Amino acid sequence: MALLEVTNLKTHFTTRDGVVRAVDGVSFSVEEGHTLAIVGESGSGKSVTALSLMRLIPDPPGKIIEGSIILRGDDVRKMDDSTVRAMRGDRIAMIFQDPMTSLNPVFRVGFQIGEALRIHKGMTRKEAAARAVEMLELVGIPNPADRARDYPHQFSGGMRQRAMIAMALACDPDILIADEPTTALDVTIQAQILELMIELQQRKGTAIIMITHDLGVVADMADDVMVMYAGKQVEYGSAHDVFYQPRHPYTWGLLDSLPRHDIDEKGTLLPIEGQPPSLIDVPSGCAFHPRCPYAQDRCVKESPELRDITSGHMAACHFAGEDGFVRGEAVPVTGGVE
């Protein structure tokens, strides 16, 4: 039994302009100590998926309308408020994209790290403060005892994200959700933060759900990869399968837009044409068809279901698995219709 099993999760938002199907039927699982990467452009529903796991969706306008989220046998959807609170920060913790705004500017860093310990572990103020210093040391902040008394604005961006990680890991959660944890940071700092996360995962055995738009970020750390588009999974499988035998044209696009040196030597970066669709007015059939170079009539009319292509490697494309429909060999359709 997996640590976390999510089945047919649907999170919708009711807005003035209509219902936004931000997450529309997503299923995945996370094993103990493993890393799942959820990849997609902004607006693909990956962050809403993460927030749904912690029941952090603002209601109204948002609501989880269907599906189950089973954490070690407990259904998160059915928990009452106090059980959800007891879970947050203790069993599942989360770090966010922008470390500059995610820490409260008027409280000392040490206090903010210790807060979760005081609620979940019943520590006294003093014990929590001491543990906060240890956590800061663990995430590689020099002079942790002094730094714990600093305010967030005295930390650099990278240090703040380290502090966020310290805060998230303080209670030894089963799962750490990291929502674009490096996007707001300098490139050199990004690598440091990723290394830190990998190192801490090995030491503590925390499972990680890594939300990112950048496949490159997760190449070294993900065990599994789930690619999302317009609120749905388009490809899901082990990192090896998704990176080396991608089955969905959207995944190809994501890979082509990465600077890679190991697979192809052409060195050209190919952006995916067009923009992510509106989640109110999702394109008919396959949501990706307006941007897909291989789209045919069927793609306009029929929505492809997520299906096994090879054992444990799933894709939602009508043509996935067909001979010759692989990255680099498939021939773009010029007229759009055969």
Binding letters toward another protein, positions 178-217, x by CB under 8 A: -x-------------------------------x------
CB 327 within 8 A of CB 252: yes
Provide CB contacts within 8 A for 97, sequence distance 6+.
Answer: 179, 180, 181, 183, 184
Does residue 301 bind another protein (CB under 8 A)? Answer: yes
Sole residue written with tokens 């990278």: 158
Binder among 37, 39, 64, 93 for another protein (CB under 8 A): 93
Number of residues that bind another protein (CB under 8 A): 93
3-state secondary structure of 257: coil
By CB under 8 A, the residues from 27 to 86 that bind another protein are 27-29, 31, 42-43, 45-48, 50-51, 54, 56-58, 61-62, 85-86
Distances in Å between the Cα of 218 and the Cα atoms of 81, 128, 203, 242, 304 are 33, 33, 19, 12, 26
Count Cβ atoms below 10 Å from residue 130 Cβ, excluding itself: 17
Contact window for another protein (CB under 8 A) among 196-204, 231-239, 256-264, 323-331: 231-239
3-state secondary structure of 7: strand
Count Cβ atoms below 10 Å from residue 135 Cβ, excluding itself: 25
Closest distance to another protein from the beta carbon of 138 (Å): 18
Q: Which is nearer to another protein, 63 or 260 (CB)?
A: 63
Distances in Å between the Cα of 209 and the Cα atoms of 56, 181, 225, 299 are 16, 11, 10, 31
Token pair belonging to 90: 């203790």
Does residue 318 bind another protein (CB under 8 A)? Answer: no
Does residue 294 bind another protein (CB under 8 A)? Answer: no
Q: Which is nearer to another protein, 141 or 170 (CB)?
A: 170
The secondary element (H helix, E strand) that includes residue 249 is: helix 249-256
Does residue 247 bind another protein (CB under 8 A)? Answer: no
Contact window for another protein (CB under 8 A) among 99-107, 136-144, 263-271, 322-330: 99-107
Residues 254-279 as b or e (16 or more Cβ within 10 Å = b):
bbbeeebeeeeeeeeeeebeeebbeb
Q: Which is nearer to another protein, 51 or 148 (CB)?
A: 51
CB 307 within 8 A of CB 316: yes
Binder among 284, 310, 322, 332 for another protein (CB under 8 A): 284
By CB under 8 A, the residues from 123 to 142 that bind another protein are none
Binder among 145, 219, 258, 300 for another protein (CB under 8 A): 300
Contact window for another protein (CB under 8 A) among 23-31, 136-144, 201-209, 257-265: 23-31
Token pair belonging to 38: 């959820």
By CB under 8 A, the residues from 260 to 279 that bind another protein are 274-279
Sole residue written with tokens 């990192």: 239
Closest distance to another protein from the beta carbon of 261 (Å): 30
CB 161 within 8 A of CB 94: no
Binder among 37, 39, 64, 120 for another protein (CB under 8 A): 120
Does residue 90 bind another protein (CB under 8 A)? Answer: yes
